[in-house]
Amino acid sequence: MRPAGAPAARGTRNTRPGTGRSGADRPGAERQSTQRPGTGPEAASGTLPAAGLRAVREGERAPVDPAHFRRVLGGFASGVTVVTAPAAEDPAEHNPAGGSATAESGGTPGPAGFACQSFASLSLDPPLVSFMVGRTSTSWPRIARAGVFCVNVLAADQGELCRAFAVSGADKFAGVPHRPAPVTGSPLLAGVAAWIDCEIHAVHTGGDHLIVVGRVRALDAAEDAGDPLVFHRGRLGTFAPADGRD
* Phi, psi of 185, rounded to the nearest 5 degrees: 80, 5
Comparing C-alpha atoms, which of 63, 94, 88, 99 is closest to residue 185?
88
Question: What confidence score (pLDDT) does residue 101 get?
Answer: 44
Largest CA distance in the chain: 62
HSE (side-chain half, CA atoms, 13 Å) at 110: 13
| Total residue length of the chain | 246
b/e for 147-159, b at 16 or more Cβ within 10 A?
bbbbbbbbbbebb
Q: pLDDT tens for residues 148-203?
A: 999 999 999 999 999 999 988 778 999 999 999 999 999 999 999 999 999 999 99
What SS3 state is found at 205? strand
Question: What confidence score (pLDDT) does residue 106 get?
Answer: 46
Q: pLDDT tens for residues 96-139?
A: 444 434 455 444 479 999 999 999 999 999 999 999 999 999 99
pLDDT of 94 higher than 50: no
Q: pLDDT tens for residues 42-64?
A: 444 445 554 455 556 666 666 78
Tell me, what DSSP letter sits at residue 120?
E
Whether 22 and 127 have beta carbons less than 8 Å apart is answered as no
The helix (run of H) or strand (run of E) holding residue 130 is strand 128-134
pLDDT of 21 higher than 60: no
Question: What confidence score (pLDDT) does residue 64 get?
Answer: 83
Q: pLDDT tens for residues 207-243?
A: 899 999 999 999 999 988 778 998 877 777 788 778 7
Question: What confidence score (pLDDT) does residue 99 get?
Answer: 41
Question: What confidence score (pLDDT) does residue 98 get?
Answer: 43
